[in-house]
Amino acid sequence: MSFRKFKYYAANGLQVLVPNAIRSKSARHLIDKYPMDSYIQERVDYYNKVNESFELPENESTRVGGYKKTGGTTYYFDLHKVVKSFPAQYFFQFLNGDIRYVPEYPCFLKSRPIGENNHNSVLLKLNEIRHFQFISDKQSFRNKKDMVAWRGVGYQPHRKKVIEQYYNHPQCNIGQTQPINGDPWEKGFMSIEEQLNYKFLLAIEGNDVATNLKWAMSSNSLVIMSKPRYETWFMEGRLQAGIHYVEVKSDYSDLIEKMEYYIAHPEEAEAIIHKAHEWVEQFKNPQREKLISLLVAKKYFEKSGQI
């Protein structure tokens, strides 16, 4: 286990033991002392798009006081530190895992489809330890290999299509690390440090979002991906093609063409990388991130008539 993961599990294991009265007092103090501004309000309203009052069926919902671990440990920890800041009698709905549909009632979850009709999908920063990893890249874009790198799970048909197209291409170091069953497009594990030697990094959506997108956008490599279909706390739905990343067709058939363009125009690549870094920077203030999470939940309980 890495030190980062050890620190996460240790800190969150301890926070579960904090009495709810202390947790609630701390949350109120943070909400009261932190200056509300348009940026914070905009993010709260983006994550929680519920603007009309709603009623939850109590028999199908979970009370704050009765919330227990039902899925992965990280989902439990990350939701626990938000909802346990509110009174025990409040109730809510939640979903663990990679969610690709919009639930019937407003519900806390990690991911949702991008679109206009996703109001019942209320985003929180869940499974943070897996998804919100940022890195410090010392190598400049121009000093990297004129190639693209990607490693990941190859179960999904849309990922297989990309791997099969470019597995043997001389400008690509692309391959699946799972499943390992003798397929011709398998390749060995490649660390993040090794991937940083490449000018281009693919961010291919998996079950929902591309897990590597956050650290890739914090690097000095240029992120290439098709238009995202799902989003998380990272607000993938607000990323702009040509501003924060390079967009390719859904089948990635124009990948090499896009790479060659930015190899020939490094100043344009560096401008996109700079904007990607600016995007990443907004998620690096732990106190503000906690505040926004609490305000997303507060709005949820207000709209459900519990505050």
CA nearest 270: which of 211, 219, 235?
Answer: 219
Residues in the chain: 307
What does pLDDT average to in each consecutive run of 10 residues of the chain (307 residues)?
83 85 91 91 98 95 95 93 96 96 98 96 94 94 98 92 95 93 88 98 96 97 98 98 98 97 98 98 96 98 96
**pTM, 2 dp:** 0.94
Residues contacting 30, CB < 8 A, separation 6+: 287, 290, 291, 294
CA nearest 232: which of 250, 253, 214?
Answer: 214
Residues contacting 273, CB < 8 A, separation 6+: 141, 219, 220, 221, 222
DSSP string, 131-153: H-------S-GGGSEEEEEEEEE
The token duo for 41 is: 């309000």
Task: Give the residue carrying structure tokens 């603007």.
Answer: 51
Q: What is the pLDDT of residue 147?
A: 98
Q: What is the pLDDT of residue 106?
A: 98
Cβ-contact 227, 204 below 8 angstroms: no
On the 0-12 / 13-18 / 19+ scale of CB atoms within 10 A, 284 is: exposed
**DSSP state, residue 241:** B
Q: How many whole angstroms separate alpha carbon 57 and alpha carbon 269?
A: 50
Q: How many whole angstroms separate alpha carbon 128 and alpha carbon 80?
A: 13
CA nearest 50: which of 292, 303, 293?
Answer: 303
Q: What is the pLDDT of residue 131?
A: 83
Q: What is the pLDDT of residue 276?
A: 98
Q: What is the pLDDT of residue 185?
A: 86
What is the b/e burial string over 69-84, where b = at least 16 CB atoms within 10 angstroms of the residue's CB?
Answer: eeeeebbbbbbbbbbb
Which of 235-238's residues contact partners 24+ apart within 8 Å by CB, and which partners? 235/43, 235/46, 236/114, 236/209, 237/114, 238/46
